[in-house]
Amino acid sequence: GDACEIAAGTQLDTNLNGTPDNCETGIVFTYCTAGTSMNGCVGALNASGTPSAAATSGFVLIGSGLEGQRQALMFYGINGPKAQPWAAGSTSYKCVRSPMKRVDPANTGGTAGTCSGIYIVDFLAWLAARPTAGGNPLVAGRVFNTQVWYRDAAAPGGGNLTNGAQFTMAP
């Protein structure tokens, strides 16, 4: 068999489908538990496009259902997933294994006191503009784990987290 068949059962398989994560190029899936904010928001992280090592844009990560008019940022890592309580008493889980890198903060927009906030980043464009950022140079098979944090002053730890998203770079 090929390297992926040989590695089956011995490598990380976060979505438990029998295929090692680094062999599922171009695949994006969500995992882990999002927290609930003081206004009842449960943020969700999703993606649009294909994560490709050959592209310099076109793979967009979208955190939606966030508290409106709050500061948010995305963080990511290349060392696998994690599911650890964010803070004592928090409903959020940290879904990315350290060390983590941060993507630029932004205001979520929307209306304060509602779940209309969003955080959007073209992850490939962001990495292309930062050649020394973690995960560069991009190669097919590299697995990324991502999550969005947003300010929620009433929450334990001062913020909440979306679910996590994992994707593997395609060629």
Chain segment 55-83, per-residue pLDDT in tens: 999 999 999 999 999 999 999 999 999 99
State the average pLDDT over residues 156-168: 95
Cβ burial of 162 (10 Å; 0-12, 13-18, 19+) is buried
Place of tokens 């999002």: 34
Q: What is the pLDDT of residue 3?
A: 57
What is the distance between the alpha carbons of residues 60 and 82, in angstroms, rounded to a whole number? Answer: 22
Q: What is the pLDDT of residue 2?
A: 57
- What is the rounded average pLDDT for all residues in the chain? 91
What is the distance between the alpha carbons of residues 8 and 99, in angstroms, rounded to a whole number? Answer: 26
- Give buried/exposed letters for 67-93 (b at 16+ CB in 10 A, else e): bbbbebbbbbbeeebbeeebeeebbbb
Q: What is the pLDDT of residue 20?
A: 76
Chain segment 91-149, per-residue pLDDT in tens: 999 999 999 999 999 999 999 999 999 999 999 999 999 999 999 999 998 999 999 99
Q: What is the pLDDT of residue 57?
A: 98
What is the distance between the alpha carbons of residues 43 and 67, in angstroms, rounded to a whole number? Answer: 8
